[in-house]
Amino acid sequence: MFLENNKHKGWIEVICGSMFSGKTEELIRRMKRAQFANLKVEIFKPSIDVRYSEGDVVSHDANAIQSTPVESAQNILLMTSDVDVVGIDEAQFFDDGIVDVCRQLANSGVRVIVAGLDMDYMGVPFGPMPALMATAEYVTKVHAICVRCGDLAHHSHRLTADDKQVLLGAQDAYQPICRHCFNELQNK
């Protein structure tokens, strides 16, 4: 599946933070830079994420890059032979198998760039993200701005009463807020 004598050393980069913090924007930036360097890239996202596009990875600022929606993390391995850089958006929506997939890719010489929410709307570590951050060589935490007080935000406050952990949405369903404002809202 992968080149036996790959001269490149692989690694894992994780971009994490709250909603509206620029995670996908940063993923797109890094992937486009890899394309400019004439590296072969593949970008994946979970097939459930159809908020802005069924096929593209799209940031809240409407920047986009072509991607392949996949049902499970294992499908990524089937589509990454002879690839230099793999990008994965919304990693929190994948099963825990995404961690092993990223390790396998990195071990075979692929640079893996993963973006995802580090916490859910309740402030709890989200899905496979903690394990991905522990496995990665590089972790970048990006922040939004709290819509209530203007401080750095790292929580995704849900505006609806729905208590499902996964609720796809944008500004209609979530706001970025800081720790202080999050705690205030939790104590109401």
pLDDT digits (tens, 9 = 90+) for 1-43: 344 444 568 999 999 999 899 998 999 999 999 999 999 999 9
CA-only gyration radius of the chain, Å: 17
Q: What is the predicted pLDDT for the residue at 58?
A: 53
pLDDT in tens, 131-170: 999 999 999 999 999 999 999 999 988 876 666 655 555 5
- Res. 94: pLDDT tops 90: yes
Compute the residue count for the chain: 188
Name the token pair of 56.
């593209």
The mean pLDDT value for 56-77 works out to 74
% of the chain exceeding 90 in pLDDT: 61
Active site residue 90: yes
pTM, 2 dp: 0.85
Q: What is the predicted pLDDT for the residue at 186?
A: 83
Distances (CA, A) of 119 to 54, 86, 155: 24, 23, 7
11-17 sheet: strands from edge to edge: 68-70, 41-46, 85-88, 111-117, 11-17, 138-142
% of the chain exceeding 70 in pLDDT: 79
Q: What is the predicted pLDDT for the residue at 164?
A: 61
Q: What is the predicted pLDDT for the residue at 1?
A: 37
Distance in angstroms (rounded) separating the CA atoms of residues 51 and 25: 15
Identify the H or E element spanning 74: helix 74-78
**Which residue is catalytic, options 4, 13, 90, 137?**
90
Q: What is the predicted pLDDT for the residue at 60?
A: 52
Sign of the Cα pseudo-torsion (79, 83, 99, 177, in order)? negative
Distances (CA, A) of 182 to 55, 148, 154, 155: 33, 10, 9, 7
Distance in angstroms (rounded) separating the CA atoms of residues 99 and 56: 22
Query: How many CA atoms, within 13 angstroms, populate the side-chain half-sphere of residue 148?
Result: 17
Distance in angstroms (rounded) separating the CA atoms of residues 71 and 90: 13
Distance in angstroms (rounded) separating the CA atoms of residues 167 and 48: 10
Q: What is the predicted pLDDT for the residue at 166?
A: 54
Distance in angstroms (rounded) separating the CA atoms of residues 52 and 149: 28
pLDDT in tens, 107-125: 999 999 999 999 998 899 9
Sign of the Cα pseudo-torsion (152, 123, 60, 15, in order)? positive
Go through the domains of the chain in sequence order and give each one's CATH number: 11-142 (3.40.50.300)
Q: What is the predicted pLDDT for the residue at 57?
A: 55
Calculate the average pLDDT of the chain: 85
CA angle centred on 96, ends 52 and 23, rounded to 5°: 40
